Structure 1
Amino acid sequence: MNLYQNKSILILGGTGTIGKKLLSVLIEYQPKVIRIFSRDEYKQFELQQEMANFDNIRYLIGDIRDEKRLLMAMENIDYVFHLAAMKHVSACEYNPFEAVQTNITGTQNVIQTALRAGVEKVIFTSTDKAISPTNVYGATKLTAERLMSAAENQKGSKRTIFSSVRFGNVMGSRGSVIPLFKQQILDKQMLTVTDLNMIRYMMTPTQAVELILQANQLAKGGEVFVLKMPIVKLNDLVQVMIDLVTKKYHIKEEIKIREIGIRPGEKRYEELMTEDEAKVATELEHMYMLYPSLHAKPLSFKPAMIKVTQPFEQPTIEQETLRTWLKEEKLI
């Protein structure tokens, strides 16, 4: 079923890693138009060059903090993918109110403008850091999740459907450890690592986009879709990165590893959902589905009563699988 043929689509934060991957997938469904909305004019210029063969992509400079600009961007739009955010933990810790204005106020702006524009569906991308948050980034994303679910109960007769997708780290995204590790190996022959025993939920951009689109198809209103994500041990990722980068760039020197300790706001491990959420989650093949507490459950609703296991109690991805993913996604 092609939901997107001849449809008008808006990708907020469309020049980021997931936004660009989402664009490359959606464009194949022959939409009427895809609007790329972001603050970064240089990234937009680069994307324009990359996608020059397509005449149904529009590039809009703007900020989700600007409600009027958002409303203009949403004119005649069917589907909105809300990927825009302040994402870096340390930047959010040092500039907390900036994170509030983008991740919380910006998300409320998205909700209000989508209702006024009569958008069909809005899907918001959240994070595993929203579970029992210990940092500003996670707290703002949790609040944004709640805003999206609450919008379902406050929209009155409006037809717009709001839902969220919660996932972990996306391999190769800007500012993440994979491009950082690669550059450190090339520049200094040394890696700085917070904690080699740290574990993270991690997925490729391809996996993330596939599940975002699946969630958008399933969304009926107010749900949070929690993607089943593979777990990566940081030490395994470090070893694979060293192996792949040194072989590709013919580096003979030994690569040293220096642990620098966990930064403010970081956890040793993240979680997919809380124990209370797990008690009422519906389990699907590739994700769990959480209904908002105020939203009426479907008649067929049967809680999965999932037992929450901590990431350190679950198997991690093998190094060979990591190696394959990095090569397939061309991240080295």
Structure 2
Amino acid sequence: MRGKIQLSRANVAYAHDIFMAAISLPLSLWLRMGSSIGSVPSNFIIQSTVLFAIIAAALFLPMGLYKGIWRYASMNDLIQITKAVTLTVLVFALILFVVSRAEFLPRSLPIINWFVLMALLGGPRFVYRLVKDRHLELGTDTKEKPGIPVLLMGAGDEAETFIRAIRRQPGAAYRIVGVLDEKGRRVGRHIRDVPVLGTPEQLDIIMRRLAADRPQRMIVTKPGLDPGLMRRLLDLAEAQGMTIARLPGLTAFQTGVGDEIEVKPVAVEDLLGRPQAVLDRPAMQALIARRRVLVTGAGGTIGGELARQIAALGPSEIGLVDSSEYNLYSIDLEIAEHAPDIARQAYLADIRDPQAMASVFAGLKPELVFHAAALKHVPIVEDHVAAGVQTNIAGSRNVADLCREHGARIMILISTDKAVNPTNVMGATKRVAESYCQSLDRARDDNGCRFLTVRFGNVLGSTGSVVPLFERQLAAGGPLTVTHRDITRYFMTTREAVELVLQASTLATAANTAAGGIMVLDMGEPVKIIDLAEQMIRLAGKRPYEDIDISIVGLRPGENLYEELFHDAESLAPTDNAAIRLATPRVADHEVLVRAIDEICAAANEDNNDTCRSLLTGLVPEFQSGTADATSATAS
């Protein structure tokens, strides 16, 4: 039914334009000749009018005049009208000159006709839009002042779009009373009659001026706002008792169907994010396109995002490996929905099982392998050392050995900053996996598989991470639990981490990439967890320590106060991407490493946690076994 209505409206607009084209010619002739129009034969006027209307009917439709909606008439519509009118007038003038040399018509008629037809086509569209907009504005009873009074942060195009959309929405949830400008360049001016009142730093003065109609919320309209400024806005809004929200982007405005506007809360990613890294997307496309790609741990946070982004780059086939049936089902279904043309295979397999993984490799014959499967939760692995060894060491070795055996081009090991000077079993086992892949990369021949390790810190929102924990605690009314007042962590978003993993992977084939090197992602500045907790409480519209408390519960087994991205013995070198650095390898003898791994894996198969822990200290000399307290963690 909606399609029929839209089609009928387009037909009405088309008929309107043809009618206007038909009357534009005699009207233009009358404007040019006045009472002398009688000197032109009436038959000639009628024939010329019919010809002009036929030309217009033939040209208007293919030139896209009816893709737009009159209520949203814009400069783009005016440009399309200009093109159509110009072509119509030129074709008409050419035909008339060829047929009759235009002997009865003044030479200035085409120019006059151009202006007349522009007015007849463009005028009704913009008048209609003006009437509709004005009708909605007048339809709002300003005495009742409906909607929540809000301030907008950002005096750009997004603010104008938001104001316009709000005014088109009867009974809108928001009433915009003013705009803030970051740099103050537009202060004193108006955006659709809404005043630009000042800068964020002048908020206290502005709020006093608006005391009679005090804003209750600040909406950030400017995209890509600096995280430092976003944190400052959060503090300023809290001091004034305002909540803060943001627009998700211009795509949130559903023009053409309705004017529903979705304003979202400011997310913790907005406070911790960094400017978008410059990515060489053609290189990423060249790496992935038309190749068979395998992702282990595909049901996890990083593995799942890897699968999504890889599928978007057009591999010939993608293999998804996970030991969780539900996680595997979920990511397989998602890839099927978003990339239905990409061949895919879902493998319910455990990387600890060499036979199962051998079957996966034999079936898919992957050219690229992204190894994201791992046990990553520090307290769990601390209590289950043997399981950590079996997954993070033996499982990684299984995948790496199969890459060599089946002729894969590149294997990318996803590692962690906890592998640097590890104070916990999880970090130590990941460091052994790094060492094994480094030794294989250094021992390869010219045509052998490259083994690349990519190391980064915490990912916002990943399963078991601090952000979802804080969200659950906030929903329950608190308190938020922090292990130590001084504990810090590096953070980046899942999307950003995976983009940089793919970018780092393109460097694996570069001639200047050292064998056995580790790609270290730029994580920005570390964040104090207690500051993160306070910011999340404020984002929820609450006051830290008053509405929601924060409890210091003490460091967990294996937890350290801060984390590092590279070891003192690893010198860092720049790469072609400023967000990725190359840590030179710490050399380990491959045969010695293999024997040590055999020994610790044998102990793990016997579920001997104590022996595994002891052997880890030999494999990773910097590993400080045992419960980390504040002193030992700081020393690490």
Q: TM-score category by the smaller chain? A: 0.7 to 0.9
> Is the deviation greater in 158-167 or in 169-178?
158-167
Distance of 2:423 and 2:383 partners within structure 1: 14
The match for 2:573 among 282, 285, 293 is: 282
The match for 2:293 among 2, 6, 9 is: 9
Distance of 2:431 and 2:361 partners within structure 1: 24
Report the counterpart of residue 426 of structure 2 in structure 1. Answer: 137
The match for 1:122 among 402, 411, 416 is: 411
**3-state SS of paired residue (2:476):** helix
Distance of 1:69 and 1:255 partners within structure 2: 49
In structure 2, list runs of 5 or more residues that go unmatched. 1-282, 510-514, 589-636
Report the counterpart of residue 244 of structure 1 in structure 2. Answer: 539
2:353 aligned with 1:66, yes or no? yes
What is the percentage of aligned positions where both structures have the same residue? 39
In structure 1, list runs of 5 or more residues that go unmatched. 248-252, 296-332
Superimposed CA distance per residue, residues 139-184 of structure 1 (whole angstroms, 9 cap, x where no aligned partner): 1011110000001234457621101011110111100011111011
Q: What amino acid is aligned across from residue 318 of structure 2 in structure 1?
A: I
Shift of 1:33: 1.2
Report the counterpart of residue 382 of structure 2 in structure 1. Answer: 93
Pair 47,188 (structure 1): closer, same or farther in 2 beyond 3 Å: same
Q: What amino acid is aligned across from residue 227 of structure 1 in structure 2?
A: L
2:559 aligned with 1:270, yes or no? no
Any runs of at least 4 consecutive aligned residues in structure 1 with deviations exceeding 3 A, and if so which?
153-158
**Cα contact 1:124–1:163 (8 A) shared by 2:** yes
Counterpart mapping for 1:15-94 below 5 A: 15-53=299-337, 54-55=339-340, 56-75=343-362, 76-94=365-383
Shift of 1:293: 4.8
The match for 2:549 among 252, 256, 269 is: 256
Distance of 1:32 and 1:14 partners within structure 2: 17
2:451 aligned with 1:167, yes or no? no
Report the counterpart of residue 234 of structure 1 in structure 2. Answer: 529
**3-state SS of paired residue (1:51):** helix
> Is the deviation greater in 50-59 or in 266-275?
50-59
**Cα contact 1:80–1:123 (8 A) shared by 2:** yes
Report the counterpart of residue 399 of structure 2 in structure 1. Answer: 110
**3-state SS of paired residue (2:345):** strand
**3-state SS of paired residue (2:307):** helix
**Cα contact 2:570–2:585 (8 A) shared by 1:** no
TM-score, with normalisation over the residues of structure 2?
Answer: 0.44
TM-score, with normalisation over the residues of structure 1?
Answer: 0.82
Distance of 2:483 and 2:489 partners within structure 1: 13
> Is the deviation greater in 74-83 or in 150-159?
150-159
> Is the deviation greater in 96-105 or in 146-155?
146-155
**Cα contact 1:115–1:158 (8 A) shared by 2:** no
Distance of 1:113 and 1:205 partners within structure 2: 28
Q: Which has the higher strand share?
A: 1
Q: Which has the higher helix share?
A: 2
Q: What amino acid is aligned across from residue 211 of structure 1 in structure 2?
A: L
Distance of 1:11 and 1:68 partners within structure 2: 17
2:498 aligned with 1:209, yes or no? yes
**3-state SS of paired residue (2:448):** coil
Q: Tell which has more relative contact order, 1 or 2 (C-alpha 8 A, sep 6+).
A: 1
Distance of 2:344 and 2:527 partners within structure 1: 35
Q: What amino acid is aligned across from residue 521 of structure 2 in structure 1?
A: L
**3-state SS of paired residue (2:290):** coil
**3-state SS of paired residue (2:481):** strand
**Cα contact 1:71–1:114 (8 A) shared by 2:** no
Q: What amino acid is aligned across from residue 473 of structure 2 in structure 1?
A: Q
Report the counterpart of residue 148 of structure 1 in structure 2. Answer: 437
Query: Which one has a bigger Cα radius of gyration?
Result: 2
**Cα contact 2:569–2:586 (8 A) shared by 1:** no
Pair 205,276 (structure 1): closer, same or farther in 2 beyond 3 Å: same
